[in-house]
Amino acid sequence: MNDLYPLLFSPVLKDYVWGGRNLELLFDRTLPLGIIAESWEIAAHPDGASVVRNGRFANQTLPQVHQQLGLELLGTNSQWAQERGKFPLLIKLLDAQQNLSVQVHPNDDYAQKHESNELGKSEMWVVLHAQPDAAIIYGVTEGTTPDKFRQAIADGKLEPYLHRVSVRTGDVVCVPAGTLHAILGGTVIAEIQQNSNTTYRVYDWNRKTTGKPRPLHVDKALDVINFAQVEPSLCQPELVSDEEGVKQFRLCANRYFVTERVEMAAGSEWHGVCDGRTFEIWGCVAGTAVLNHTPLPAISFTLLPAALGPFTVQAATSATLLRTYVM
């Protein structure tokens, strides 16, 4: 008998300098006092592992569950991750009350060589909330070269080489490894990423914390920045299907994950199956849904083990969900 079920987690909270209180103010979450910058919703990293809060795996960390279930959790499409002993993805919420640093992430090969067998980090963002003037840094401007870029960092005047893009609620940003980027103040973002915490900071707006600037990682950053990514455009969702009150859009697809947006009318249903090939992560970002009797209010995420079998998502109200899996 299959006793697997949708897993719910208690998140890991991070108090980085740029955070705020919007996860509580906007999404009716109870937070501890102080700055909350990130909520690691589904995480299996040495820097933070989320804890199961339902069913027979309750009070165990995601790495502990992975150790017990192996490919029953991951699926055969993630055999490479199983061989490296890693859960492949990490799901976050970010509250950017202030600008994040301008940064870049390495790919798998560079990270494995230089960061003690860490995964690289390709990621994608869904903007859950944006103030009217919200923006991001996304790629470099026309005419940027590595030499000009390095000199501008030394001079503390990098802004002319940063491609600034306005964003609004609902926008989607695909951020492959090597993309120069920064989330700027005034946004709350859902982030789906490889299971990595490696960031090369190249510019921190000349900000000081505890009287000192935060460390930069200029040499490694210049090794991995894709300077051919000149003034890229935001991702445009692709309509995949529109049937019986359910619209399915593909938001981002790469070798590590696929993320879709599923828009459901009240009372509609989605029928799926985890047949052993891939786990699925479903997150409700608006409205209320139920997945195999597991309530999913906004904003919450659940992990479906690859060997779960059939499942049904029902929209209790009109609802918007994010669906992530591995091809």
Give the angle subtended at the CA of 155 by the CAs of 153 and 158, to the nearest 5°. Answer: 45
What residue type is assigned to position 267 of the chain?
Answer: G
Q: List phi, psi (to 5°) of 245.
A: 80, 10
Contacts of 305 (CB under 8 A, 6+ apart): 4, 5, 7, 69, 72, 73, 274, 279
Cα 321 to its chain centre, rounded Å, is 14
Which SS3 state, helix, strand or coil, does residue 16 take?
coil
Tokens of 113: 């060589």
Active site amino acids: 201
Question: What is the distance between the alpha carbons of residues 326 and 9, in angstroms, rounded to a whole number?
Answer: 20
Strands 89-96 and 38-42: antiparallel
Tokens of 135: 């923006």
Strands 181-183 and 135-140: antiparallel
Tokens of 320: 């918007």
Positive or negative torsion for Cα 314, 316, 320, 321: negative
Closest CA to 322 of 287, 294, 275, 292: 287
Which strand (E) or helix (H) includes residue 179? none
